[in-house]
Chains A and B, each alone.
Chain A
Amino acid sequence: MSRTVSPYEADPPSAKRIATSVVLAVVGAAAVLVTFVLPAEYGIDPTGIGGALGLTALNAPAKTVQIMEVSGGNERYREVAIPDFGQPVPLPNPAVFQQQGSAATTEEVKVTLQPGEQTEIKALLKTAKVMTFSWQAEGGLVYVDFHGHEPAAGSAFWVRYEEQQSGTHGSGSLVAPFTGEHGWFWMNVSEQPVTIKLNVTGYYEKLVDHGITKSSGESAWAE
């Protein structure tokens, strides 16, 4: 078969014409690149025209927001890029939302302590589960130690959330740092009987009432 030839190959234009054409092609390509493509694709805008046309916005650096790591983790904050087009910012810890099958349990517990008596009421919570609480003491002052420990670990360790040497109320919320018992040790430190009313709402397994014991003088609490 014969090779079909471009009419220009048989009779090529002058060198000058070809050179001019090539130069025009290069200049044209450079113009398109510099004014449109590079600003849009890479944010490179030497002439400023791309910016004026609004093209550099296509390649602007992502805005970020600092989202606090509210539960768990060692980081206090994580910086995350804000995506485009109304997309949600990805959370460092998506477990801040916990889907549950039903509403949280709400309970009220009342206990009356004679002077010197102590009690412990604990909620069994799995890791990262949430509860809110509010308690009031009527008739006197109580010592309270709001704390948590793992029964499996025995007396190996425990954590303290809040301690009051003598108080009449407490309220707050807790995200359980580990699976275990998280609750209150109260001791009546006044001369009169004190009635403690505790309200708990949360996703705990159950409340455990360790009963009333006489204080031995120490603030050690029963397991």
Chain B
Amino acid sequence: MVALFAPPMFAHGVEGGDAAYLESIEGVHFIPLLYLGAKHMVTGYDHLLFLAGVIFFLYRLKDVALYVTLFAVGHSVTLLFGVLAGIHANAYIVDAIIGLSVVYKALENIGGFARLGIRFDARAAVLLFGFGHGFGLSTKLQDLSLSQDGLLANIVAFNLGVELGQFAALALILIAFNIWRRSDRLARAAYVVNVLIMTAGFALFGYQMTGYWVS
């Protein structure tokens, strides 16, 4: 009955022991699911890379809060909807799209779309990509046979945990950004850092697409 769900190192699925726990429980287990959601977000570097790209040039806390809320709403909707409605998307494809979301944000940050004369509504884009990130999460959970008993409360707990984890990770990212922004080197390094983020996005994309083709 132990889930032999062994996700490769780079895709953050639900790891073995946690997967075994999720498959074995019946009924509501609020705090453990809360914790697992937070853990998933804090270790979810593809989500965090996208978030870092989103808040890279956001200086006011009000703007940070808005964009992060849009992202949170997006992934909450698809996480809940995906698991409860049983929407089965291919996990590799969804994760590849998440990789592309990182590329998109980094490219926008260096003015790539502006140069092409394309203007996106950044808020709508974050919401839309939020939907994608949420599907990434729901497909991982669907791979596990979760007990129907208490499923709704457990998924809500998990989602709340995701938000708490996101909040914690975001705080750390913001602190790092603010320290960095005070130094003069930011202006020159900002471009390069975004290109590095874009590289990471491409790597994620390539990795997930390879997984799709191999499986």
Interface residues of A (CB under 8 A from B): 1, 3-15, 18, 21-22, 24-26, 28-30, 32-33, 37-38, 40-42, 44
Instruction: Chain A residues near B196: list those with CB within 8 A.
Output: 25
Given A13-B110, A13-B115, A15-B115, A29 contacting B199 (CB threshold 8 A): yes
Provide the bound-state CA to CA distance between A42 and B211, in Å: 8
Provide the bound-state CA to CA distance between A25 and B103, in Å: 9
B139 CB within 8 Å of chain A: no
Interface residues of B (CB under 8 A from A): 8-10, 56-60, 62-63, 66, 103, 106-116, 122-123, 190-191, 195-196, 198-203, 205-207, 210-211, 214
A-B contact pairs, 23 of them (CB 8 A): A4-B60, A7-B190, A8-B114, A9-B114, A10-B114, A12-B112, A13-B191, A22-B198, A24-B195, A25-B106, A26-B199, A26-B202, A29-B205, A32-B199, A32-B203, A33-B203, A33-B210, A37-B203, A41-B10, A41-B207, A42-B8, A42-B210, A44-B214
Provide the bound-state CA to CA distance between A115 and B177, in Å: 104
The secondary structure that dominates the B interface is helix
Chain B residue nearest to A59 in the complex (CB): B8
Instruction: Chain A residues near B114: list those with CB within 8 A.
Output: 8-10, 12
> Is A44 within 8 A of B210, CB to CB?
yes
Chain A residue nearest to B115 in the complex (CB): A12
Instruction: Chain B residues near A14: list those with CB within 8 A.
Output: 115
Instruction: Chain B residues near A44: list those with CB within 8 A.
Output: 210, 214
Provide the bound-state CA to CA distance between A18 and B114, in Å: 11
> Is B56 within 8 A of A3, CB to CB?
no
Instruction: Chain B residues near A42: list those with CB within 8 A.
Output: 8, 210-211, 214
Instruction: Chain A residues near B109: list those with CB within 8 A.
Output: 6, 8
> Is A22 within 8 A of B206, CB to CB?
no
Quote the shortest CB–CB distance from A15 to chain B (angstroms). Answer: 5
